[in-house]
């Protein structure tokens, strides 16, 4: 019995392409995690997207409604992640990449194109 779904997602960051692996639960409503596979973001700034503290925010994160980024404060809702200080563009890129790809995945499942 499957416990979820994993898919790759990619898009532009501050310096160039970011490639992710994203996991979601069987209901396609919560993230089981996110890992950055490739990036060329600025080390020490945007490069922090590979850090445990940023990536851990995506474990158990509600992805429907779509993920939101908050800056300068702690997340207040189950679908929010906190931006990395000094790397808002890279943080926002991650959120946009996941939201866009997840929308495509959900659409494929609704249309029965996932097989």
Q: Does the residue 76 lie in any domain?
A: yes
- Decide if pLDDT at 115 tops 70: no
- Decide if pLDDT at 114 tops 70: no
Q: How many domains does the chain have?
A: 1
Residue where the block lists tokens 């996941």: 98
Q: Does the residue 115 lie in any domain?
A: no
Write the pLDDT tens digit of every residue in 3-35: 899 999 999 999 999 999 999 999 999 999 999
Tell me the residue range of the domain where 68 lies. 4-110
Write the pLDDT tens digit of every residue in 65-75: 999 999 999 99
Q: Does the residue 51 lie in any domain?
A: yes
Write the pLDDT tens digit of every residue in 59-113: 999 999 999 999 999 999 999 999 999 999 999 999 999 999 999 999 998 888 7
Q: Does the residue 82 lie in any domain?
A: yes
At 46 the pLDDT is 96
The span from the CA of 50 to the CA of 17, in Å, is: 14
For 45-114, the DSSP string reads TGGGGGSHHHHGGGTT-B-SSPPEEE-SS---STTEEEPPTT-HHHHHHHHHHHHHHHHHHHHHHHTTTT
């Amino acid at each position: 019995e499957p416990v979820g779904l994993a898919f790759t997602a990619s898009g532009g960051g501050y310096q160039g392409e970011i490639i992710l692996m994203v996991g979601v639960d069987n209901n396609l409503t919560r993230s089981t995690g996110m890992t950055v596979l490739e990036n060329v973001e600025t080390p020490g700034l945007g490069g922090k997207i590979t850090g445990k503290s940023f990536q851990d925010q995506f474990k158990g994160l509600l992805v429907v409604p779509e993920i939101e980024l908050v800056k300068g404060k702690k997340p207040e809702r189950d679908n929010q992640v906190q931006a990395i200080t000094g790397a808002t563009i890279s943080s926002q890129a991650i959120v946009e990449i996941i939201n866009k790809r997840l929308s495509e995945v959900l659409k494929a499942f609704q249309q029965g194109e996932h097989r």
